[in-house]
């Protein structure tokens, strides 16, 4: 029984692609067969974040136009052979694909994979419609900023109108020090406005930038964001995982304590 999940946000730059890469990799680490589809035709970058850019020969549009077989376009990940990427075309635009074609493609992929992750482009136009067409579940990514929340709210409304079965929220790039000072919206405030199920909170982490530039998702590594993404993956699979304490102070002393705990 495979699940099709779309990662969307409305606003750009909140971390859809990073989330897709990390959740996809995390699910693969948990021994699931995962395929990620980059639906951002014309502005592809999921391949870059995954470090698979140099392996692209065929892409999503080629598959849909019948220029190659689906198998030929799928790129296997370096570390996890169960993890595949279907990259988008860089030279075309969103209108090269229709929602019906996407549904057909996803049906084909369902035969083989446990999870199909769709990286949605920003905005609510054709690209968004394509991405959500075949999905039965959505992860809405937002940052604790009013502009991102406003867009996320719009997206949730559109997803509900399209009868999305399950909609979960990921709050990305939260900074607990700023929340404490009262300069940033709290997790509860965001949940209050959007009133959908919270599936994860990812702290703002320098390591994310490093990992993105290196093309290696940091899920599962020993940093806050890595742990947070790993927890999200487990929750996506239906496990009950308590939310981690984002407030834990980093430092030599803390690392020392941590050693003892282990």
Partner 1 sequence: MTREVIIKSNKYGINLILDDHLPFEELLTLIGEKFKETGSFFKDAKMAISFEGRQLTNKEQLDIADRIMENSSIQIVSIIDSNKDLEELMRERVEAYEQPQPEPMVSYMNPQDMGMQGMDIPPTADFYKGNLRSGQTLECASSVTLIGDVNPGARIVSEGNIVVLGSLKGNAYAGASGDDSCFIFALDMKPIQLQIGDLIAKSPDKEKGSFRTRKKGKTEGSQYSPQIAVVRDGFICIEPMTKGCLDRL
Binding site for partner 1 (CB under 8 A): 146, 150-151, 153-154, 156-158, 160-161, 181-183, 185-186, 189, 193, 195
| DSSP percent split of the chain into helix, strand, coil, nearest 5 | 45, 15, 40
Q: Least CB distance from residue 228 to partner 1, whole Å? A: 24
Place of tokens 């968004």: 128
Cβ neighbours of residue 16 closer than 8 Å, sequence gap 6 or more: 7, 8, 9, 119, 120, 122, 141
Cβ atoms 119, 20 nearer than 8 A: yes
Six token digits for residue 79: 């570390």
The nearer residue to partner 1, 46 or 140, going by C-beta atoms, is 140
Compute the distance between CA of residue 47 and CA of residue 60 in angstroms, rounded to an integer. 12
The nearer residue to partner 1, 186 or 234, going by C-beta atoms, is 186
Q: What value does the CA radius of gyration of the chain take, rounded to a whole number of Å?
A: 18
The nearer residue to partner 1, 146 or 255, going by C-beta atoms, is 146
SS (H, E, C) 178-245: HHHHCCCCCHHHHHHHHCCEEEEEEECCHHHHHHHHHCCCCCCCCCHHHHHHHHHHHHHCCCCCCCCC
Q: Least CB distance from residue 251 to partner 1, whole Å? A: 27
The nearer residue to partner 1, 8 or 45, going by C-beta atoms, is 8
Q: Least CB distance from residue 26 to partner 1, whole Å? A: 29
Q: Least CB distance from residue 58 to partner 1, whole Å? A: 36
The nearer residue to partner 1, 165 or 261, going by C-beta atoms, is 165
What is each CA distance from 145 to 21, 182, 187, 217, 218, in whole angstroms?
Answer: 23, 13, 11, 24, 24
The nearer residue to partner 1, 68 or 146, going by C-beta atoms, is 146
Compute the distance between CA of residue 260 and CA of residue 169 in angstroms, rounded to an integer. 34
Q: Least CB distance from residue 168 to partner 1, whole Å? A: 16
Q: Least CB distance from residue 249 to partner 1, whole Å? A: 22
Q: Least CB distance from residue 256 to partner 1, whole Å? A: 34
The nearer residue to partner 1, 86 or 184, going by C-beta atoms, is 184
Six token digits for residue 250: 């980093």
């Amino acid at each position: 029984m495979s699940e099709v999940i779309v990662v969307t946000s409305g606003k750009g730059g909140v971390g859809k692609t990073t989330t897709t890469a990390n959740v996809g990799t995390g699910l693969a680490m948990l021994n699931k067969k995962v395929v990620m589809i980059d639906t951002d035709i014309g502005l592809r970058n999921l391949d870059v974040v995954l470090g698979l850019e140099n392996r692209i020969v065929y892409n999503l549009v080629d598959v849909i136009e019948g220029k190659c077989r689906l198998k030929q376009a799928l790129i296997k990940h370096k570390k996890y052979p169960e993890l595949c990427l279907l990259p988008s075309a860089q030279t075309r635009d969103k209108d090269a694909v229709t929602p019906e074609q996407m549904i057909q493609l996803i049906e084909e992929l369902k035969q083989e994979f446990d999870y199909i992750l769709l990286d949605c482009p920003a905005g609510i136009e054709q690209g968004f419609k394509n991405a959500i067409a075949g999905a039965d579940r959505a992860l809405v990514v937002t940052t604790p900023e009013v502009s991102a929340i406003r867009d996320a709210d719009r997206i949730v409304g559109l997803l509900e109108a399209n009868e999305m079965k399950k909609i979960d929220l990921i709050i990305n790039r939260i900074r607990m020090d700023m929340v404490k000072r009262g300069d940033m919206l709290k997790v509860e405030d965001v949940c209050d406005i959007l009133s959908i199920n919270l599936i994860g909170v990812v702290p703002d982490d320098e390591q994310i930038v490093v990992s993105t530039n290196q093309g290696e998702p940091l899920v599962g590594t020993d940093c806050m964001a890595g742990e947070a993404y790993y927890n999200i993956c487990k929750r996506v699979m239906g496990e009950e995982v308590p939310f981690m304490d984002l407030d834990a102070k980093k430092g030599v002393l803390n690392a020392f304590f941590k050693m003892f705990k282990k």
